[in-house]
């Protein structure tokens, strides 16, 4: 069994590296895997058709196209330009100001969706062109967009946290709150990195130009004011709706899309621009959605082959030392993160790892935050880093390469893992807020 599991993993890798569409590679590998596992092509076919119908059958998935649409409207309306001009003015004195603004903005957007790829897609369109226009290095700009999208899973509502809490029977409310402090620490680290890099090598992130005659132009000020107010209103409706308890993420996404359309019309978008936005939103969404479907086929193959049992047995046969066990869990999550999506990793591994961590004495909230961080970091690693591909598919500049995005993301990957380790070493980071608030 182990040889079959690792064989299919190898096959998948080979296909991905030979340039096969990743969705196709995932689907094909899982069908072959199921066939070899059960010797029945009928069952292999059933897995394909069953997953095709069921994998996305949840209304929550509609947030992906809707938030992409929202981002398209905002970025094509010119509002994003205006917002970044405002941010530019506000944070102008700060080295790497637009990157810092991207970190904050990205965290906010990811907090709306609970699905970090949607915010990566949105910010690839909004933030990346602005940063490049200001002369930021491409890799630096791409890295901050991809890296800071990971913040979303630490800020509620987070789908990963809900799945985790239900599986391990810890309180969802407590887990939500537990993520706040590590999330803020991570965001501060990101900002510090952006600022320090900008100071160390100003050519990477040139400082914003001083106000020119053009920026005191009254018409332009008015346009920026309208953009600023309407986007703030939009974010207030979307985030305020969720936090205030009026809207689900799905509903907030609906409001976001329509609200952004209204902003676009106010900013002068007409039928041609609107239809272009809608057309392009679809082109960004489609590859992500099909990837979600086939990733789900693959996670089903792993569940069917009992990959989890193989892994648990292997782990305990090595050692029972807490440090070694935690290190092995860490490495396994990193490796799985290279191949499959975060939800599937949680579904497949947490039922085994959570009891193991309890046995070796790790605080459950700290373990959950550690796990979510490490698994999210996997979205940034090659060859299958979902956020990397999302950014690649979403940036308007088609000359951007995956390699550039991967390179830019490495510092963020390191910082995420650093905070993950910090949370295990100092569990109070995760438990302090829940214990004092609840």
Please work out, in degrees rounded to the nearest 5, the angle formed at the alpha carbon of residue 264 by the alpha carbons of 263 and 269. Answer: 150
Say if residues 374 and 418 touch (Cβ distance below 8 Å): no
> If binding is defined by CB under 8 A, does position 86 make contact with other proteins?
no
- Verify binding: residue 319, other proteins, rule CB under 8 A: no
Taking the complex as a whole, how short is the minimal distance between the CB of residue 195 and other proteins, in angstroms?
31
Quick note: the x/- pattern for other proteins over 2-41, rule CB under 8 A, is: -------------xxxxxxxxxxx-xx--x--x---x-x-
- Least distance in angstroms from the C-beta of 104 to Na ion: 15
Q: Which stretch binds other proteins (CB under 8 A): 181-189, 212-220, 291-299, 410-418?
A: 291-299
What are the angstrom distances between the C-alpha of 115 and each of 80, 123, 204, 390, 394? 21, 13, 30, 12, 15
- Member of 5, 8, 12, 47 binding other proteins (CB under 8 A): 47
Residue closer to other proteins (CB basis): 141 or 242: 242
Please identify which residue in 27, 71, 87, 114 interacts with Na ion, judged by CB under 5 A: 114
**Total interface residues for Na ion by CB under 5 A:** 5
Listed residue (180, 209, 169) closest to 364, CA to CA? 169
- CB 57 to other proteins: min, Å: 5
248 scored as a contact of other proteins (CB under 8 A): yes
- Residue 112 within binding range of other proteins, rule CB under 8 A: no
In the complex, least distance from residue 21 CB atom to other proteins, rounded to whole angstroms: 4
Residue 202, contacted partner among other proteins, Na ion, none, CB below 5-8 A by kind: none
DSSP 192-241: HHHHHHHHH-TTTSPPPPPP-TGGG-HHHHHHHHHHHHHHHHHHIIIIIH
Binds 138, which of Na ion, other proteins, none (CB < 5 to 8 A, cut-off by type)?
Answer: none
Interaction of residue 158 with Na ion, rule CB under 5 A: yes
User: Binding residue for other proteins (CB under 8 A) from 8, 79, 103, 165?
Assistant: 165
Q: What single string gives the DSSP state of each residue in 358-410? A: HHTT--HHHHHHHHHHHHHHGGGSSSS-HHHHHHHHH-S-TT--HHHHHHHHH
Cβ-contact 256, 238 below 8 angstroms: yes
């Amino acid at each position: 069994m182990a040889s079959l599991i690792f064989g299919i993993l190898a096959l998948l890798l080979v296909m991905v590296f030979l340039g096969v569409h990743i969705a196709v590679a995932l689907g094909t590998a899982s069908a072959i895997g199921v066939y070899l596992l059960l010797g029945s092509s009928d069952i292999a076919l059933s897995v394909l058709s069953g997953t095709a119908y069921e994998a996305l059958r949840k209304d929550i998935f509609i947030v992906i196209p809707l938030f992409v649409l929202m981002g398209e409207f905002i970025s094509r309306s010119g509002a994003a330009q205006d917002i970044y001009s405002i941010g530019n003015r506000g944070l102008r004195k700060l080295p790497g100001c637009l990157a810092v603004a991207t970190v904050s903005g990205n965290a906010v957007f990811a907090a709306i969706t609970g699905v970090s790829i949607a915010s990566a897609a949105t910010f690839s369109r909004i933030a990346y062109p602005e940063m490049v226009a200001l002369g930021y290095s491409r890799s630096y700009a791409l890295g901050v967009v991809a890296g800071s999208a990971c913040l979303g899973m630490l800020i509620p509502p987070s789908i990963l946290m809900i799945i985790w809490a239900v599986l391990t029977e810890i309180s969802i409310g407590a887990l939500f709150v537990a993520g706040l402090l590590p999330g803020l620490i991570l965001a501060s680290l990101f900002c510090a990195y952006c600022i320090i890099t900008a100071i160390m090598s100003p050519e990477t992130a040139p400082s914003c130009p001083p106000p020119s005659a053009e920026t005191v132009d009254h018409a332009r000020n008015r346009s920026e004011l309208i953009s600023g107010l309407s986007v703030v209103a939009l974010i207030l409706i979307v985030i305020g709706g969720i936090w205030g308890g009026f809207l689900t993420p799905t509903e907030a996404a609906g409001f976001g899309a329509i609200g952004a359309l209204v902003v676009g019309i106010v900013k002068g978008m007409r039928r041609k621009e609107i239809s272009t936005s809608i057309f392009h939103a679809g082109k960004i969404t489609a590859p992500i959605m099909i990837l979600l479907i086939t990733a789900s086929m693959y996670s089903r193959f792993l569940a069917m082959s009992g990959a989890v049992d193989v892994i648990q047995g292997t782990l305990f046969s090595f050692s029972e030392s807490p440090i070694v066990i935690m290190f092995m869990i860490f490495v396994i999550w990193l490796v799985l993160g290279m191949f499959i999506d975060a939800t599937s990793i949680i579904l497949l591994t947490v039922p085994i790892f959570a009891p193991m961590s309890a046995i070796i004495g790790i605080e459950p909230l700290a373990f959950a935050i550690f796990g979510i961080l490490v698994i999210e970091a996997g979205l940034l690693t090659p060859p299958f880093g979902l956020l990397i591909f999302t950014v690649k598919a979403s940036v308007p500049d088609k000359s951007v390469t995956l390699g550039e995005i991967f390179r830019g993301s490495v510092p963020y990957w390191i910082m995420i893992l650093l905070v993950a380790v910090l949370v295990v070493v100092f569990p109070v980071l995760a438990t302090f807020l829940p214990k004092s608030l609840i």
